[in-house]
Structure 1
Amino acid sequence: MKLVVVTAGLTQPSSTRLLADRLAAAVAERAEVEVRVVELRDLAVDIANTFVTGFPGGRLREEIEAVTEADGLIAVTPIFSGSYSGLFKSFFDVLDNTALAGKPVLIAATGGTARHSLALEHALRPLFAYLRAVVVPTAVYAASEDWGGGRDALTDGLGERVARAAGELTDLLLHRAPRRAEPVDEVVPFEQQLAALRPLDPGSGSKVR
């Protein structure tokens, strides 16, 4: 299965990328997935140009195709002013509005304080609901105080949320119905169509030749 991780961290290294990697690793522990990471920071200029030209450049087009063809998605953004970053929103704005329909998505975010954790529910979840994605119940938020200070590299609370969300996404990936091929209309030969249009012989009830 193909799992794409979209991360909108602006610095390198960033806590946003760190959280994205932790979530992807947790899913990979539960299922055999091919993970691809999309760093939006490296695509910022291409995304801006797409709004001007209406057409994504080669590199951005590849990442859009990867997201569209993925079996599942992890989307992680830093929180600015109580919502997702502009770069994060801009990337999903350039996607076709059917690209995420029915696709399992795990949403996550990072921020300076826990006060911004509700941005996951009032900003990110409605965004992906609008795009008709299937968002897992557990959203993961990591504040500055969540990194370190516990008995392991992550505090107990964050580690539990990561595990729970990864388990929910894995369940959706494993039980997702396979995509159906679009139905193809049967092609009726021209002679058969022509025969159906020939008038009946009033006497015999057979087609007039």
Structure 2
Amino acid sequence: MRIVVVSAGLGVPSSTRLLGDRLAATTAAAAGTTGPAPADVRVIELRDLAVEIAHHLTNGFPGRTLAEAQRAVTQADGLIVVTPVFSASYSGLFKSFFDVLDKDALAGKPVLIAATGGTARHSLVLDHALRPLFSFLRAVVLPTGVYAASEDWGAQGLDARIARAAGELAALALALPAGRPAGAAGGHGTGAHAGAGDEEELTVVPFEEQLAALRPTG
């Protein structure tokens, strides 16, 4: 199972990257208890791609590093996205990266949304900004999002939210065909699109039903 973390943290060290790492490690651990093989985790730091993203927005062509990141996101079995809060929403760098993805790259893909901020008052960013964005991109947004304010680090409640969200991501990513979430297509800028022989019928199954099918019976 391939898990990709997209972190929009700007500082070094970054609390946004730290949250992404903890979510990824917990997801990998959850997948390892039920999956056939250990999860492969890759982290994409958007601050390292800022110049290429800006160039792509102006000329329409991704640089080599950005194109590789786009392919990794498109081919992932599950995605963890983490942004710091700016002006009560996601950062411009975070939004710009998803603006330059192929329009079908996230279709049917499980996405765990997360954010960091200085105060708990910004926790609504998950439902007011991140969830609508990834729903528009036709991703399968997990029911549990994770927000970490400055006072949450080291608090017991954060660990519980991380464990719950990671368990949901591991369960759904393992339930979908490896590397081929329903409706996914080739990455932007590569010219890869599904041909006539590659078409798949998209069946929409409510998330709760998918989780219920994975729970032990009896």
Please state which band the TM-score falls in when normalised by the shorter chain.
0.7 to 0.9
- C-alpha deviation, 1:33, in angstroms: 1.0
Q: Are 1:129 and 2:142 counterparts? A: no
* Alignment-mate amino acid for residue 96 of structure 2: S
The residue aligned with 1:89 is 95
The reply to whether residue 14 of structure 1 matches residue 23 of structure 2 is no
Moved over 6 A (4+): none
The 1-side partners of 2:21 and 2:15 are apart by: 10
In structure 1, stretches of 5+ residues that fail to align are: 148-153, 186-209
Aligned residue runs from structure 1 range 68-79, under 5 A: 68-79=74-85
Return the alpha-carbon distance in structure 2 between the equivalents of residues 46 and 137 of structure 1.
32
One-letter identity of the residue aligned with 2:20: A
CA distance in 2, matches of 1:2, 1:25: 12
Q: Which structure has the greater CA radius of gyration?
A: 1
Among 140, 145, 154, the residue aligned to 2:146: 140
The residue matched to 1:68 in structure 2 has which SS? helix
**Which consecutive residues of structure 2, in runs of 5 or more, have no partner in the other structure?**
32-37, 183-193, 199-218
Q: 2:53 aligns with which of 35, 47, 50?
A: 47
Give the aligned partner of residue 207 of structure 1: none
- Displacement of 1:30: 1.2
CA shift at 1:177, angstroms?
4.2
**Which residue, 96, 107, 115 being the options, matches 1:101?**
107
Residue 168 (structure 2) pairs with residue 168 (structure 1): yes
- Of all paired residues, the percent bearing the same amino acid is 69
**Bigger RCO (CA 8 Å, 6+ sep):** 2
1:184 match: 197
Paired amino acid for 1:14: S
SS at match of 2:121: helix
Superposed displacement of residue 183, structure 1: 5.2
Residue in 2 aligned with 1:59?
Answer: 65
Displacement after TM superposition at 1:176 (Å)? 1.6
Counterpart code for 1:80: F
> How many positions carry a matched residue from both structures?
179
SS at match of 1:76: strand
Measured on the aligned residues, the alpha-carbon RMSD in Å equals 1.5
Tell me, in whole angstroms, the C-alpha distance in 2 between the residues paired with 1:86 and 1:157: 29
Instruction: Name the counterpart of 2:28.
Output: 28
Question: What is the aligned counterpart of 1:116 among 119, 122, 138?
Answer: 122
SS at the partner of 1:4? strand
Q: Residue 157 of structure 1 aligns to which amino acid in structure 2?
A: G
> For 1:8-35, what per-residue CA distance to the aligned partner results, in whole angstroms no more than 9, with x for missing partners?
0000101000000000000011112100
Q: CA deviation at 1:184?
A: 2.5
Superposition deviation, residue 74 in structure 1: 0.2
